[in-house]
Chains A and B, each alone.
Chain A
């Protein structure tokens, strides 16, 4: 039987070259979706294969990798992907946003400001922002070519006519460098402003749909809106119950069967960092103990 032997960071070198070339084009044409020959990965399509391929193509032994899903390092798919790279590339992993050089994410942008020595890799399910308005690739490609985005504005305006608001709460479309309308991946629109003029490089990988796109650092990213209906990021109006943060995106946690609920930071590293620094919310467990362990850089041993 052919016993499988895998390369550093799993992908073979030819595949990495192909992905690397696509990444360079993506950076050169901000917001444009570069087609790439996505490979079949050992995890299912829709579970981060695009992000994993991008990460695998950029990752080196000096990198420190953080993987989050829903803002948390401890969600099962984040753990699974982090372990995959710890095993195949032997890289150091961390839960600290600050320490990480490569952050792979699904559905969130960390609360802490990113810095110039970081790359944020997004997992993208449907990269085409126009897909739900026009299912045909040939058509949406033509619309991007002509920068013909009227359909998107019509959709947003129909929302306003019907609901009085733009009824898109996540995967809220943005315009990159005043040219391409881009899907930010299913992040809550709360995170959209973080993409604008971000010091870190942002890379987006859609494995099943075979597209890579990018936002270079310090690039203008504008959420689509109308003068009389300006873009508004949404956040539940409460402080985090654990760390008291008033400016972080919150998860709603149902605490019993009587409708009680609490709101806590979705970014667990941010919340833990604040608690360790002495901030607390109404329901925090003091003193906070888990921190030292949580922050510790885990050197992978496979």
Chain B
């Protein structure tokens, strides 16, 4: 006698209770607080804010806690929350040239106005596991200087003054900026949508794609013109007020790649740009993004298109880790109806194959016997 499985609802509830316990872990160990996550796992928070496309450290920290440290799951939580938020409008474009810079490096010039600022970085650390960090570590007080009031112009602006680099595209007045979370994406997509897609895109995916351009799959001769990290003001132009209202400041990382360009009969040769921007301190992300942005401009710049990183449909359709993880992981949902269908077909094909080969063997045997 067979009784179909029931009680799925109970099973789900029990599984979720188990999850809650696994998340908390050994209860004799102190619970991690949102402040601890935000302060001590700051780069994880930055990544979740960036790819979740919601600037809220506290919610990102909560998401990381809820997701047991699984950052893609945390990004998913933030995205699902973001989708329900009302839209009041778009902010004014932020001015990264006026950034209060905490870190700023250029690989193209030894010295730049405003100076190179190393800031908090893993660069030049020796990657030796540090047992002193295991517990009770108190860092030395940082060496501080008066914040410089000297302007820190973007390196690309310095190149731009001499016309050595293509001009940054200017926003058309009144032209609406695309938003792929509010409009279905169509191909070919303009650069605003591509950049939005990359900004939300998975860091690992962009890293691999950017890396592939360096290894020759759509090479674009990049120099890290500048990477800067710091605070910028966000302003919102409220229609009925008549002027831009400050909303506060956010931390951003910006990367401007300077890339080669041959020029044409009608245009003098000049450098081209690849652009990356992300919330918080997200250098790997913005550098990868800038490489891929530049690769995706291949068509626009009249370059041969063939590498994966240059393929807009390929990149934009696969960069989103929330989409990707959902679809990959959906394979664990039951598929037994389809599988049954395939099984039936396969059995039938195998039976026919067996019958056909049996027939062929029989006729071979008869042939041999006759010979």
Judged by CB atoms under 8 Å, the answer to whether A and B touch is yes
The yes or no answer to A66 lying at the interface (CB within 8 A) is no
The yes or no answer to A276 lying at the interface (CB within 8 A) is no
The yes or no answer to A136 lying at the interface (CB within 8 A) is yes
Contact B187 A138 (CB under 8 A): yes
Contact A40 B322 (CB under 8 A): yes
What 0/1 pattern do residues 320 to 355 of B give for CB contact below 8 A with A?
001101111110011111101111110011001000
The yes or no answer to A12 lying at the interface (CB within 8 A) is yes
Bound Cα distance from A37 to B82, whole angstroms: 14
Number of CB contacts from chain A to chain B under 8 A: 165
Contact B326 A79 (CB under 8 A): no
With both chains docked as a complex, state the minimum distance between the C-beta of B275 and any C-beta of chain A, in angstroms.
24
With both chains docked as a complex, state the minimum distance between the C-beta of A280 and any C-beta of chain B, in angstroms.
11
Bound Cα distance from A42 to B56, whole angstroms: 18
From known contacts A169-B342, A266-B337, infer whether A80 and B12 are also in contact, taking CB-CB under 8 Å: yes
Bound Cα distance from A125 to B182, whole angstroms: 20
Chain A, interface residues (CB within 8 Å), range:
35 or more
Contact B84 A12 (CB under 8 A): yes
Contact B345 A208 (CB under 8 A): no
From known contacts A79-B12, A138-B187, A170-B337, infer whether A46 and B326 are also in contact, taking CB-CB under 8 Å: yes
Chain A contacts with B in 199-244, Cβ cutoff 8 A: 208, 210, 234-236, 241-242
In the complex, what residues of A have CB within 8 A of residue B336's CB? 70, 251-252, 266
In the complex, what residues of A have CB within 8 A of residue B5's CB? 74
Complex interface: stretch among B73-81, B241-249, B280-288, B358-366: B73-81
From known contacts A4-B81, A163-B349, infer whether A188 and B338 are also in contact, taking CB-CB under 8 Å: yes
What 0/1 pattern do residues 141 to 168 of A give for CB contact below 8 A with B?
0000000000000000000000111010
Main secondary structure of the interface of A (DSSP, over half): loop
In the complex, what residues of A have CB within 8 A of residue B1's CB? 283-285
In the complex, what residues of B have CB within 8 A of residue A170's CB? 337-338, 341-342
Bound Cα distance from A165 to B328, whole angstroms: 30
In the complex, what residues of B have CB within 8 A of residue A106's CB? 333
In the complex, what residues of B have CB within 8 A of residue A236's CB? 340, 344
The yes or no answer to B177 lying at the interface (CB within 8 A) is no
In the complex, what residues of A have CB within 8 A of residue B147's CB? none
Residue ID in chain B nearest A186 by CB atoms: B338
Contact B327 A75 (CB under 8 A): no
What 0/1 pattern do residues 234 to 275 of A give for CB contact below 8 A with B?
111000011000000111110100000010101010000000
Residue ID in chain A nearest B9 by CB atoms: A79
In the complex, what residues of B have CB within 8 A of residue A190's CB? 341
Of A167, A242, A252, which contacts B343 at CB under 8 A? A252
Contact A45 B341 (CB under 8 A): no
Bound Cα distance from A235 to B344, whole angstroms: 8
Most buried by A among B7, B183, B325, B345: B345
From known contacts A79-B8, A125-B330, A208-B327, infer whether A165 and B348 are also in contact, taking CB-CB under 8 Å: yes
Contact A6 B348 (CB under 8 A): no
Chain B contacts with A in 81-95, Cβ cutoff 8 A: 81-84, 86
In the complex, what residues of B have CB within 8 A of residue A51's CB? none
From known contacts A74-B5, A169-B345, A170-B341, infer whether A210 and B185 are also in contact, taking CB-CB under 8 Å: yes
Of B84, B329, B338, B342, which contacts A44 at CB under 8 A? B329
In the complex, what residues of A have CB within 8 A of residue B59's CB? 1-2
Residue ID in chain B nearest A7 by CB atoms: B84
In the complex, what residues of A have CB within 8 A of residue B184's CB? 35-38, 210
Bound Cα distance from A189 to B345, whole angstroms: 11
Contact B330 A169 (CB under 8 A): no
The yes or no answer to A47 lying at the interface (CB within 8 A) is yes
Contact A165 B3 (CB under 8 A): no
Contact A107 B8 (CB under 8 A): no
The yes or no answer to B58 lying at the interface (CB within 8 A) is yes
Of B56, B58, B82, B313, which contacts A138 at CB under 8 A? B313
The yes or no answer to B11 lying at the interface (CB within 8 A) is yes
Bound Cα distance from A283 to B6, whole angstroms: 18
Contact A242 B327 (CB under 8 A): no
Of A35, A49, A188, which contacts B341 at CB under 8 A? A188
In the complex, what residues of B have CB within 8 A of residue A169's CB? 338, 341-342, 344-345
Contact A262 B2 (CB under 8 A): yes
Of A1, A47, A83, which contacts B330 at CB under 8 A? A47
Bound Cα distance from A188 to B341, whole angstroms: 6
The yes or no answer to B4 lying at the interface (CB within 8 A) is yes
Contact B8 A74 (CB under 8 A): yes
In the complex, what residues of A have CB within 8 A of residue B8's CB? 74-76, 78-79
The yes or no answer to B125 lying at the interface (CB within 8 A) is no
In the complex, what residues of B have CB within 8 A of residue A4's CB? 81, 84
The yes or no answer to B188 lying at the interface (CB within 8 A) is yes
The yes or no answer to B186 lying at the interface (CB within 8 A) is yes
Contact A1 B349 (CB under 8 A): no
In the complex, what residues of A have CB within 8 A of residue B330's CB? 44-47, 125
Contact B323 A208 (CB under 8 A): yes
In the complex, what residues of B have CB within 8 A of residue A42's CB? 80
The yes or no answer to B181 lying at the interface (CB within 8 A) is yes
In the complex, what residues of B have CB within 8 A of residue A38's CB? 184
From known contacts A75-B8, A187-B337, infer whether A1 and B62 are also in contact, taking CB-CB under 8 Å: yes
Bound Cα distance from A186 to B348, whole angstroms: 20
Contact B313 A69 (CB under 8 A): no
From known contacts A46-B330, A74-B6, infer whether A234 and B337 are also in contact, taking CB-CB under 8 Å: no
The 3 closest A-B pairs by CB, nearest first: A45-B326, A46-B330, A35-B184
> Can you list 20 residue pairs at the A/B interface with Cβ under 8 Å?
A2-B56, A35-B184, A37-B181, A37-B182, A40-B76, A40-B83, A44-B326, A47-B333, A70-B337, A74-B8, A78-B8, A136-B313, A137-B317, A169-B342, A252-B340, A262-B2, A264-B4, A283-B2, A284-B1, A285-B1
Beyond A74-B4, A76-B11, 13 extra complex contacts between A and B, CB < 8 Å? A2-B59, A6-B84, A35-B185, A44-B76, A47-B333, A78-B8, A79-B12, A137-B187, A138-B313, A169-B342, A208-B323, A250-B340, A252-B340
